[in-house]
Homo-oligomer: A and B are copies of this chain.
Amino acid sequence: MREGTRVTRPVVTFWFEFASTYSYLSTMRVEAVAADRGVDVIWQPFLLGPIFGVQGWTTSPFNIYPAKGRNMWRDMERECARLGLPLVQPDPFPQNTLLAARVAVRAMTTGNGPAFCKAVFEAEFGQGRDVSSPEVLAGALEQAGLSASLLEEAVTPENKQAVRDIGAEAERLGIFGAPRFVTEDGELFWGNDRLEQALDWELTKHEKTF
Contacts and interface: CB of A to CB of B under 8 A. Distances in A.
Given A55-B65, A65-B55, A71 B190 contact: yes
B174 A67 contact: yes
A172 to B, nearest CB: 11
Contacts of A197: 78
A75 interface: yes
Interface string A191-210: 00110010000000000000
13 contacts: A67-B174, A67-B175, A67-B176, A68-B176, A70-B174, A71-B174, A71-B176, A71-B188, A71-B190, A74-B188, A75-B194, A78-B197, A193-B193
Interface of A: 55, 65, 67-68, 70-71, 74-75, 78, 174-177, 188-190, 193-194, 197
